[in-house]
Amino acid sequence: MNDAHYAVILAGGRGERFWPLSRHHRPKQLLRLVGEQTLLAQAVDRLAGLIPPERVYVVTNQDLVEACRIAAPRVPPEQIIGEPVGRDTAAAAALGAALIKARDPQAAFCILTADHVIGDEDTFRATLRESLALARRAPWLCTIGIPPTEPSTGYGYIEVGDPLEEAGGIVFQRAKRFVEKPDAATAQRYLEAGTFCWNSGMFIWSVSTLEAALRQHCPGLAALIAELTPHVGSPRWEPELKRVYERLDKISIDYALMEKADNIVMVRGTFAWDDVGSWPALANHFPADSAGNVVIGDAVTQDAHTNIIYSQGRLTALIGVQDLVVVQAEDATLICPRDQAQQVKKVVEQLKQNERLAPKVL
């Protein structure tokens, strides 16, 4: 066999935290939050030279397939797959494995995210390249851990164990355990201990290693691969996919596999990485003016300090306010204090109950 590598980009999120810019049919991965391209397009493009678009698969919601095809036009359209129903990341990973196994049963592939911002792309690609090489020669479940820079309570953590190997400056270590999002005190302890990394949600393994692990820890998803692989590219694909998906439970890769398996290795991701989970997180990617305001788009300010203003296509004028997030979308505006930006989900919930407004702005 050749040693071509593959990627499965998980692009199923809804991204309510970026409302009103994100909408049901325009989630975060389809926004141009940072740079000229959508986050999804950037996720494809940054694989250049390592995994070409014709070996990239995108797994998304059925109703986002067309939008993803438009956003990532170099990925072959039939490789942008809509899940009949959302069954969380483990099912999406297994679906990706089925698609790739049909093409190359010896393949190694990576599971990547569609909605993160990643810098130092050479380091990122080197990390994937070495991880794919490792996954091809040994039955490791490899995950990318990010050395933490702050005691974040927004990420899961990986406790790092013994060194495994180093290749081309890329460091592999055993993973002792996966832990869920901690409280602030625990996060602080993890940071100080120096033996924890953030769980980036990116994984590298071979089809056969993943299948073996699923057979042991999550047989339903091993069955998914076995049942779906024969139908890839056939007229039976759509009905089989629907039939198989409907009986699945919702379960994440972390729960299904990473918290159970003992053949886990962590590769240290030393590139810049941010899951950009909120408007204030986004603001970190832009310069502030002399009053500390971050303006993306057009704004004028008078005695206004340390606000975050996303105002593309219209003008926002702020007078005498501090520490606000102001987001302008085509037909809706969000205004909230920076430290309450997470509450935007509540507004989305409130709008879902509003039969008059919901069709316009969700």
- DSSP letters, 147-186, are --SS--SSS-EEEEEEEEEEETTEEEEEEEEEE----HHH
CB of 362 to a second copy, least distance (A): 10
Residues 6 or more apart whose CB falls under 8 angstroms from that of 356 comprise none
Minimum Å gap between C-beta 346 and a second copy is: 5
Q: How far apart are CA 142 and CA 110, in angstroms?
A: 9
Contact positions with a second copy (CB under 8 A) in 17-76: 19-20
Among residues 120, 164, 298, 306, which is the contact residue for a second copy, using CB under 8 A? 298
Q: Which of 284, 314, 355, 359 binds a second copy (CB under 8 A)?
A: 314
Choices 120-128, 187-195, 210-218, 324-332 (CB under 8 A): range interacting with a second copy: 324-332
- Tell me which H or E stretch contains 5: strand 5-11
The one segment of 129-137, 261-269, 276-284, 311-319 that binds a second copy by CB under 8 A: 311-319
Query: Beta-carbon neighbour count of residue 250 at 10 Å?
Result: 12
| Binding range to a second copy, per CB under 8 A, among 55-63, 162-170, 256-264, 347-355 | 347-355
CB closer to a second copy, 1 vs 319: 319
Rule CB under 8 A: say whether 312 interacts with a second copy. no
**Counting contacts by CB under 8 A, is residue 333 touching a second copy?**
yes
Strand partners, 141: 264
Q: Are the beta carbons of 295 and 309 closer than 8 angstroms? A: yes
Maximal C-alpha separation, the chain: 66
Compare residues 208 and 342 and give the one whose CB is closer to a second copy. 342
Sequence-distant (6+) residues with CB within 8 A of 311 are 295, 296, 297, 298, 299, 326, 327, 328
Q: 192 and 85 in contact (C-beta within 8 Å)?
A: no
Out of 106, 149, 195, 302, name the contact with a second copy by CB under 8 A: 302
Write out the residues near a second copy by the rule CB under 8 A.
Answer: 19-20, 298, 300, 302-303, 311, 314-321, 324, 326, 328, 331-337, 340, 343-344, 346-347, 350-351, 354, 357, 360-361
